[in-house]
């Protein structure tokens, strides 16, 4: 599944960037391959230009899944860029997200973004990505109808989570952080930005590969995929707590985000909730018979489980130093996933 522990806040499509850092230098079975299944040269160039590490990791996917999975990733990256552009006023970001959601939902001609919006983005890679929006929409509407419908659905759900985020934290700051009100709000957020990706992955696999994707019960796999995605997003939240809090965002439901003791207690409680969700992800992956697909799906669970071990009992100072899985350990987990 295109999901796991990442540096991105909004959605778990970005796991393949992490995976690629582990895979791009490995020889043998993971030598570079031509990206058959991605719609032609133009689309491949978009991927290579704005998401090189993701492009490299696509070698793990069966060709029939690549085009829709790649496009879903790029559209999610686009909405993420719009939502997370802190140099742009919240009202302008909200307006841009709404326009993008409308363009994804229907064959609406969305021309280039206003130059003022592009100029406000400090990262040239993000500017290049937004400049490719018309090409991405053309790619979407060239997909087979059933695949396009799945992409539209998952991107719409992700955008709804981003829009809710902008509303919820519109006035938040490091001095006056805002916390999610309750466990239900956190569960809903995790589903919108991550659990839906697990559902998308499952539906896309069965649509494009049929029984070759898995001989398991599709309903069971949908439930497992949903839980897996939510678990991966929860790992992100637990790992990034101090960073998000400094920006005024507290995704853990506590009465007072400034109360460190309460935060750490809540952190420990939600860490225990994450474990069974990640275990469901491992069960999901092991039901997939295709070796590379199984590896691509299992690696996020292995990385997440490793991260949870390192987060257990962490002090605030440890969290502030940003818990990471060492690169050598990532390589070891990748090899384990491939076996």
**How many domains in the chain?**
1
**Contact status, residue 287 vs residue 214, Cβ threshold 8 Å:** yes
Mean pLDDT value across residues 64-72: 93
What pLDDT digit, counting tens, does each position of 130-139 carry? 998 998 999 9
pLDDT of residue 41: 56
Q: Please return the burial class of 123, using the count of CB atoms within 10 Å of its CB with bins 0-12, 13-18 and 19+.
A: exposed
For residue 38, pLDDT beyond 70: no
CA distance 270 to 34: 42
CA distance 97 to 161: 11
pLDDT of residue 49: 65
Q: Give the up-direction half-sphere exposure of residue 200: CA atoms within 13 A in the CB hemisphere.
A: 34
Q: Does residue 26 belong to any structural domain of this protein?
A: yes
Q: Does residue 1 belong to any structural domain of this protein?
A: no
Q: Does residue 2 belong to any structural domain of this protein?
A: no
Judged by DSSP in three states, 235 sits in helix
* pTM of the full structure: 0.88
- The conformation of residue 107, written as its DSSP 8-state character, comes to T
Mean pLDDT value across residues 53-62: 69
| Spatial CA neighbour of 250 closest among 12, 9, 8, 89 | 9
Q: Please return the burial class of 255, using the count of CB atoms within 10 Å of its CB with bins 0-12, 13-18 and 19+.
A: exposed
Give the tokens for residue 329: 């350990």
| 50 pLDDT tier (thresholds 50, 70, 90) | low
- Return the top range by mean pLDDT from 40-54, 101-115, 124-138, 147-161: 147-161
Mean pLDDT value across residues 186-205: 97
Q: What is the CATH number of the domain that holds 87?
A: 1.10.600.10
Mean pLDDT value across residues 174-183: 97
pLDDT of residue 174: 95
Residues 6+ apart with CB under 8 A from 302: 282, 333, 336, 337
Q: Does residue 7 belong to any structural domain of this protein?
A: no
Kindly report the average pLDDT of the chain as a whole number: 86
Share of residues in the chain with pLDDT > 90 (%) = 73
Q: Does residue 104 belong to any structural domain of this protein?
A: yes
Q: Does residue 4 belong to any structural domain of this protein?
A: no
What pLDDT digit, counting tens, does each position of 276-309 carry? 999 999 999 999 999 989 998 999 999 999 999 9
CA distance 315 to 230: 24
For residue 321, pLDDT beyond 80: yes
Q: Does residue 3 belong to any structural domain of this protein?
A: no
- Structural domain of 176: 12-338
What is the Cα Rg of the chain in Å?
19
């Amino acid at each position: 599944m295109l999901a796991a522990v990442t540096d991105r806040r909004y959605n778990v499509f970005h796991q393949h960037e992490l995976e690629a850092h582990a895979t791009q230098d490995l020889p043998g079975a993971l030598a570079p391959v031509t990206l058959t299944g991605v719609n032609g040269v133009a689309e491949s160039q978009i991927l290579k230009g704005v998401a090189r590490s993701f492009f490299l990791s696509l070698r793990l996917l069966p060709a029939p899944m690549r085009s829709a999975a790649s496009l879903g990733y790029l559209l999610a990256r686009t909405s993420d860029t719009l939502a997370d552009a802190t140099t742009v006023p919240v009202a302008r970001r909200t307006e841009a997200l709404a326009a993008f959601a409308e363009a994804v939902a229907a064959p609406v001609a969305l021309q280039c973004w206003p130059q003022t919006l592009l100029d406000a983005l400090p990262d040239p890679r993000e500017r290049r990505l937004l400049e490719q929006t018309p090409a991405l929409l053309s790619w979407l509407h060239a997909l087979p109808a059933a695949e396009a419908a799945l992409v539209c659905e998952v991107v719409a759900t992700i955008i709804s989570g981003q829009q809710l985020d902008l509303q919820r934290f519109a006035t938040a700051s490091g001095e006056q952080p805002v916390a999610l009100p309750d466990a239900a709000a956190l569960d809903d957020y995790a589903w919108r930005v991550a659990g839906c990706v697990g559902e998308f992955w499952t539906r896309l696999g069965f649509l494009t590969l049929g029984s070759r994707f898995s001989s398991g019960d599709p309903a069971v796999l949908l439930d497992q995929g949903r839980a897996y995605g939510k678990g991966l997003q929860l790992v992100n939240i637990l790992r990034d707590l101090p960073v998000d809090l400094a920006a005024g965002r507290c995704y853990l439901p506590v009465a007072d985000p400034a109360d460190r003791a309460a935060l750490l207690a809540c952190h420990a409680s939600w860490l225990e909730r994450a474990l069974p969700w990640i275990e469901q992800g491992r069960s999901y992956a092991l039901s997939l018979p295709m070796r590379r697909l199984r590896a691509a799906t299992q690696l996020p669970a292995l990385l997440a489980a490793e991260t949870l071990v390192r987060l257990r009992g962490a002090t605030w100072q440890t969290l502030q130093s940003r818990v990471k899985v060492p690169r050598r350990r990532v390589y070891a987990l990748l090899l384990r996933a491939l076996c």
